[in-house]
Chain A
Amino acid sequence: MKQTTIALAGNPNCGKTTVFNALTGSRQRVGNWPGVTVERLEGNYSHADTDVLAVDLPGIYSFSAHSPDEEVSRNYILQSKPDVVVNIIDATNLERNLYLTTQLLDMKVPLVVVLNMMDLAEQRHLEIEVEHLAKHLDCPVIPVVGSKGTGIDALKDAIAKVALSHHISSTSVVYDSQVEAAIALLMPMVANAAAENHADPRWLAIKLLEEDQLAMEITANAHADVVATELARISRHVGDATDIVIADGRYGFIHGLARDVIHRRLELRRTVTDIIDRVILNRALGIPLFFLIMYAVFFLTIGVGGAIH
């Protein structure tokens, strides 16, 4: 039997673990990532004569390695080289979730995008052109409802296909022309370091411009002077710090995508959360409600609990 390793990446609360459970069923193991107290969840499933090991990465907004969660996720993708990275996206919050996707596109990894919570998106009258999105991202996009298990078979098929073809998306985010000039300058300089670390040179150049710690380590800080000059040049021309300009590039790409593939049929102004917040966060009602709930808790634990005891 063949062996495939996949990694699940996504924002916090995008339903990543629900999809993970739907994929692997009960065959799971919980552990820790070496050296940090970040939980590591692994599971297996068999599909089309292949044994697939699925690793659930921590929920993150970015691969910038500002927190142990981000660092663990990024190191796993870069060093362990999973055959497929499955990027799970909350369909009701496409724009914010795609920020992580743009970074995976920069990293040039074999990618499958999962649009989770499609039922909620429908309830909120969001129409997403899945095919169109897949074309733009140049990778499979699979709509699923993790909680009901719909679309999981299609997802397994898509993963198997990408694991076989190792297809890497040709889509990349085009940044501000000043940033692009700096990337073009840095790319040949970091080509060797990138090849040694099995990383993409363009990604490494972008990361250097973001003053990323890991990128500096990979290149042994050899291009610190060039980077500093370029950073100064970019902020002089554009008027903003380079990391803001790069983030703008990512959001520009995302907004362009969103305009093309999302149709909001009508905006539902008030969600359940809003209604609950209006009551419990109300200036006048808030404190009395707090005391009422505390009273209820004490009554339950002492009054009812004591009687049962």
Chain B
Amino acid sequence: MKIRDLEIGQQGRVVGFEPGDRTYRQKLIQIGLSKGSEFTLIRKAPLGDPAEINCGGILLTLRKGESDIVIVERI
């Protein structure tokens, strides 16, 4: 499941990362979107891209293509 599959207001948890792009993955981890971290989907732009999440008080706005490397589950 990806962040784009969540509805606004729903909470998710990071369960893993797609293989590949290490640099971008590291960037997300350093900012706080690490494995096991929980977040809330706050809002999506009208066409669903980008989406804003709140991860432990940190607001992150991610592009669809980029956020697809994050594998999440709904909680």
A66 near B27 (CB under 8 angstroms)?
A: yes
Counting CB contacts under 8 A, is B65 at the interface?
Answer: no
- Number of residues from B at the complex interface, CB < 8 A: 22
Which residue from chain A places its CB closest to the CB of B27 in the assembled complex?
A: A66
Chain B neighbourhood of A62, CB < 8 A: 26, 30
In the bound complex, CA of A241 to CA of B56 (Å): 24
In the bound complex, CA of A244 to CA of B35 (Å): 8
Chain A neighbourhood of B43, CB < 8 A: 281
A96 near B35 (CB under 8 angstroms)?
A: no
Q: Which of A200-245 contact B (CB under 8 A)?
A: 211, 240-241, 243-244
- Number of residues from A at the complex interface, CB < 8 A: 20
Other-chain residue from B16, B27, B34, B46 in contact with A251 (beta carbon distance below 8 A): B34
Other-chain residue from A93, A241, A244, A251 in contact with B57 (beta carbon distance below 8 A): A93
B30 near A61 (CB under 8 angstroms)?
A: yes
B56 near A95 (CB under 8 angstroms)?
A: yes
In the bound complex, CA of A218 to CA of B21 (Å): 24
B29 near A244 (CB under 8 angstroms)?
A: yes
Q: Contacts A96-B32, A248-B34, A283-B46 given: A240-B16 contact, CB under 8 Å?
A: yes
Q: Contacts A248-B35, A283-B46 given: A211-B30 contact, CB under 8 Å?
A: no
Chain A neighbourhood of B17, CB < 8 A: 241, 244
Q: Mark B40-60, 1 if CB is under 8 A from A, else 0.
A: 000100100000000011110
Chain B neighbourhood of A241, CB < 8 A: 17, 19, 22
Q: Contacts A93-B57, A95-B56 given: A240-B35 contact, CB under 8 Å?
A: yes
Interface of A is mostly: helix
A64 near B46 (CB under 8 angstroms)?
A: no
Q: Mark A270-284, 1 if CB is under 8 A from B, else 0.
A: 000100000001010
Chain A neighbourhood of B32, CB < 8 A: 95-96, 99
In the bound complex, CA of A62 to CA of B24 (Å): 13
**Nearest CB of B to A194, in Å:** 23
**Nearest CB of B to A238, in Å:** 11
Chain A neighbourhood of B56, CB < 8 A: 95-96
In the bound complex, CA of A64 to CA of B22 (Å): 11
Q: Which of A243-287 contact B (CB under 8 A)?
A: 243-244, 247-248, 251, 273, 281, 283
Counting CB contacts under 8 A, is B4 at the interface?
Answer: no
Q: Which of A155-184 contact B (CB under 8 A)?
A: none
In the bound complex, CA of A251 to CA of B28 (Å): 13
Other-chain residue from B22, B46, B58, B59 in contact with A96 (beta carbon distance below 8 A): B58
In the bound complex, CA of A283 to CA of B34 (Å): 31
**28 A–B pairs (Cβ distance < 8 Å), ordered by A:** A61-B31, A62-B30, A64-B26, A64-B30, A66-B23, A66-B27, A92-B57, A95-B32, A95-B56, A96-B31, A96-B32, A96-B56, A99-B30, A99-B32, A240-B16, A241-B17, A241-B22, A243-B25, A244-B29, A244-B35, A247-B29, A247-B34, A248-B34, A248-B36, A251-B34, A273-B59, A281-B43, A283-B46
- With A93-B57, A244-B35, A251-B36 given, can you name 12 additional A-B contacts, CB distance below 8 Å? A61-B30, A62-B30, A64-B26, A64-B30, A96-B58, A243-B22, A243-B26, A244-B16, A244-B25, A247-B26, A273-B59, A281-B43
Residues of A within 8 A of B (CB): 61-62, 64, 66, 92-93, 95-96, 99, 211, 240-241, 243-244, 247-248, 251, 273, 281, 283
Residues of B within 8 A of A (CB): 16-17, 19, 22-23, 25-27, 29-32, 34-37, 43, 46, 56-59
